Structure 1
Amino acid sequence: MSVEVAGAMAAPDVKPKSISRAKQWSDEIENLYRFQQAGYRDEIEYKQVKHVDMVDRWPETGFVKKLQRRNNTFYYYDRQRECEDKEVHKVKVYAY
């Protein structure tokens, strides 16, 4: 069961129950890659730490557009795919 958006609001300190590695690229893996590059597990942890309701996304693709790192600097991402095939296996997929 995935607890993407609702889970961040339901419990203030949601922890993942298990972890696996991505096998192939998808839109979901692309966004996880972007969160993990910025220093977060996923969207749930980002919303908990930064206390935001919405993540800035590209309207055309739905990919994450901008993330604030823990040191208050920002990561900016392109509209296109950034997670290359050789990087996919590094992406961690958390289950809640």
Structure 2
Amino acid sequence: MSFATDHNSKPKSMSRARKWTMEVENLFRFQLAGYRDELEYIQVKQGASVDRWQESGFVKRLQRRDDTFYYYSRKRECQDGDVHRVKVYVY
């Protein structure tokens, strides 16, 4: 996933995911925690690193805006019925 270098970037467009991919899985996890995507998470948390499961590359833990944490499984959490809810942003 590539991100714009401008740290104040706003998305140019948004579409809904149509099928599950690793990218959609990670977007699902960011959106559960209250962020658009990894770029917004890094902006809000001022450069905080994202903990990932080494084997899968899936997001492991995210800090929500209220400073509580979400912990995620190393296995897929975004089920087929949830895929269409995931927003995919283009910068």
| Whole-Å separation in 2 of the counterparts to 1:25 and 1:78 | 16
Give TM-score, length-normalised by structure 1.
0.90
Q: Which protein has the bigger helix share?
A: 1
How many residue pairs are counted as aligned between the two chains?
91
Give TM-score, length-normalised by structure 2.
0.95
CA RMSD of aligned residues (A): 1.1
| Whole-Å separation in 1 of the counterparts to 2:35 and 2:9 | 13
Stretches of 4+ moved more than 2 A in 1? none
| Whole-Å separation in 2 of the counterparts to 1:30 and 1:3 | 16
Q: Select 2:41's aligned residue among 38, 46, 55.
A: 46
**Structure 1 residue 16 and structure 2 residue 11: aligned?**
yes
Give the residue type in structure 2 aligned to 1:31: N
**Aligned residue in 1 for 2:54:** 59
| Whole-Å separation in 1 of the counterparts to 2:75 and 2:2 | 26
Question: Sequence identity of aligned pairs in percent?
Answer: 62
Distance 1:70 1:53, change over 3 A: closer
**Structure 1 residue 87 and structure 2 residue 82: aligned?**
yes
In structure 2, stretches of 5+ residues that fail to align are none
